[in-house]
Structure 1
Amino acid sequence: MICTKRIKEKNFQENGGKVLKNQRVRIFSEAALVKATNNYADDRKLGEGGFGSVYKGVLTDNTVVAVKKSKGVDKAQMNAEFQKEMSIVSQVNYRNVHIHDKGSRILASWTNRLRVASAAALALDYLHSLADPPVIHGDVKSVNILLDNNYTAKVADFGASVLMSPGQTNILATKIQGTLGYLDPEYLMTGILTVQSDVYSFGVVLVELLTGEIPNSISKSGEKRNVIQHFISALENNHVFKILDFQTADEGEMDEIEAVAELAKRCLNSMGVNRPTMKEVSDELAKMKALHQKSWAQQNSEETDYDVTIFLHECKSSHEPIPDCDVIADRELH
């Protein structure tokens, strides 16, 4: 028993346990994680990255978590990356920066797509403007925006993130990290990661929400194409509605889609200085979302009033009196 305890303690220390004890994180045993993921079953796998795979886990108290299981890479490098990610995540405390399960029918309507875009932008704005210290996410992409059972967007995976000093807006990276197709071209050329690099990547995500296509996807003819260039070309030629992969409900939604498309184009500017800040992006999407909800509420209110008017007319025009007709109608109205 003493030997087993010593082996466990040695393993704990070698894997960064001493560092983790000083962070605001909960530490689990290997057995607990195996049980939570059903022994890392294939149907629990959520995704895969450079250092490992991510699985859905359910704890004994029914809390849903994401469990990252490392690949057989260099142990020292793995520990350094893991400790770096934990040090960043432990300092982030915000309701939209949390890991949950994926949703399924979320992209069926523009309402939900706008909701996802607004929530993700709000989270990134928090990282840039309100987190202490500020954080550049470094790997903003659709697979890192997870959804809970209420279809609320959560920004995840801080493996490529960096902490900044107050007032700092960029950092010279020792190596390029991120995902091709989402990476800021300015960052690729200079090696300087900035808050505007996240803005570019978020612009790519907006394009995905509009078109349903991932960067560098295969066209219907089987040819590779640059989705971003295709999107900008469609926007400039007033063909943006031809490349959407969902149905719009009314003219109001079409106006919103055009506004989001223009916002995405601004985020995708080749020069970071010409892109909007994440706060500007978040504010614009939040305003759009609020107007959308107000319009939706008004439409539903008008439909209810119309239904009640017809009901009253039918009751009062009947040849035979209907008891408590007005009372029923009034109750229906409320």
Structure 2
Amino acid sequence: MGYYFQRKRIKREIQKRITSKAHFILNSDNNGRSAKVFTIKEITKATNNFSKSNLLGAGGFGEVFKGVLNDGTVTAIKRAKHGNIRGIDQILNEVKILCQVNHRSLVRLLGCCVELPNEPLLIYEYVSNGTLFDHLHNKNSSKWIRLGWHSRLRIAHQTAEGLAYLHDAAIPKIYHRDIKSSNILLDEKLDAKVSDFGLSRLAASEATHVTTCAQGTLGYLDPDYYVNFQLTEKSDVYSFGVVLLELLCSKKAIDFNREEGDVNLVVMVKKALKEGMLMDKVVDPMLKIGASKLELETMRAFGSLAVGCLDDRRDNRPSMKDVANEIACIIGIVADAKAMGY
């Protein structure tokens, strides 16, 4: 009997949260854009009744299905776990954030469905080529592409531009709070799109930080944020610095298969840099094969930029705009060298 009443209470709480945010979801008076509203009939048809053959992935929040709308548009549809208040909160937060942004390097929200009382659904553009994590770390599958240096630089630059937009162009500014390689999607042209805004936060117009419990992913979490509970744009910069290391090294942020002192990629790289062994111990050997002297120097510069993003003191880290500009300069050097035959 107690279990029955607890389920009823949770159901009422979930419905209350969905109802409280429905006006925001369905209207555009938030200076952003409204989400298109889909019916559950449309979504059920698009996913073949949420067929397991359409399942793209699953996590603590719920599941993501591939769907094809009536007009042929291919989509990715996120469904929260039934009765999971935290997962539903994250989905509603994602709508709130994505209704306010529009950038080529941010995944596009096409709409939502709020017909089911306990399961809001989000409908996104379908990004067909998996995640950056897949391509860097799932090396035993022929499905994933071995990314060359030029591709990695372009992915880094596009991601940096998307994050700089959140920090500098969005009103109010947005802190992503969970930047990692598995949240960077790649399309058929290997163009990058930042995804998963479930943990993101809007900053008040004059605020320098948001005070909140530390959340994020092990290996990517800003130590300053973890200690002080102050989320800033520099928290995203730190997390992005870890992604830059992944691009340079093809190593995971945390890997318990590495030696004890090297489990954490940031610690490993900083130690190698201190020993003057960045190029020998850290850089992906595949990148160095056939690389020109100038390209090797750009890898060294890229590594230094990454470490700058990872400074323990957030005030010493560059802004995302500066990071994007620095990567653009590195890309320009590589392009000029190629044009001149170096």
TM-score range with shorter-chain normalisation? 0.7 to 0.9
Higher radius of gyration, 1 or 2: 1
**CA distance in 2 between partners of 1:97 and 1:34 (Å):** 26
Structure 1 counterpart of 2:46: 36
Q: Which runs of no fewer than 5 residues in structure 1 stay unpaired?
A: 1-9, 303-334
Rounded to whole Å, the distance in 2 between the matches of 1:160 and 1:294 is 40
Instruction: Judge conservation of contact 1:211–1:243 (CA < 8 Å) in 2.
Output: yes
- 1:151-190 alignment to 2 at 5 Å? 151-173=190-212, 175-190=213-228
1:82 to 87, 91, 106: 91
- The answer as to 2:273 corresponding to 1:235 is yes
Which residues in structure 2 correspond to 1:4-23 (within 5 Å)? Answer: 14=19, 16-23=21-28
Displacement, 1:292? 1.8
Q: Does 1:247 align with 2:287?
A: yes
TM value normalised by structure 1: 0.78
CA distance in 2, matches of 1:111, 1:160: 31
Shift of 1:45: 4.1
Greater percentage in helix: 1
Residue identity (%): 37
C-alpha distance in 2, partners of 1:52/1:95? 26
State whether residues 51 and 73 of structure 1, in contact with CA within 8 Å, keep that contact through their aligned partners in structure 2. no
Equivalent pairs, count = 289
Residue 114, structure 1, aligned to residue 153, structure 2: yes
Cα distance in structure 2, aligned partners of 1:136 and 1:46: 26
The TM-score, its normalising length taken from structure 2, stands at 0.76
Question: What is the root-mean-square deviation of aligned Cα atoms in Å?
Answer: 2.7
Alignment partner of 1:56 out of 52, 55, 66: 66
1:75-123 C-alpha deviation (Å, 9 max, x unpaired): 4x54443322211110001111125222555542111111111100011
Displacement after TM superposition at 1:14 (Å):
4.6
* Native 8 Å contact 2:184 2:192 kept in 1: yes
Could you say what secondary structure the match of 2:63 adopts? strand
Q: Which runs of 5+ in 2 are unaligned?
A: 1-14, 29-33, 109-126, 136-143
1-side partners of 2:55 and 2:273: how far apart? 37
Which string of whole-angstrom CA distances, capped at 9 and with x for unpartnered residues, describes residues 27-49 of structure 1? Answer: 22233333434444556444444
When residues 286 and 273 of structure 1 are mapped into structure 2, their CA distance, relative to the original with a 3 A threshold, is same
Q: Residue 279 of structure 1 corresponds to which residue in structure 2?
A: 321
Q: Distance in 1 between matches of 2:240 and 2:18?
A: 38
Deviations, residues 115-174 of structure 1 (Å, cap 9, x unaligned): 11110001100100011221111111111110111110001111111111224231101x
The partner residue of 1:194 within 214, 217, 232 is: 232
Corresponding residue for 1:93?
102
**What residue number does 1:260 align with?**
302
Q: 1:44 to 1:243 in 2, by over 3 A?
A: farther
Question: How big is the shift at 1:196?
Answer: 0.4
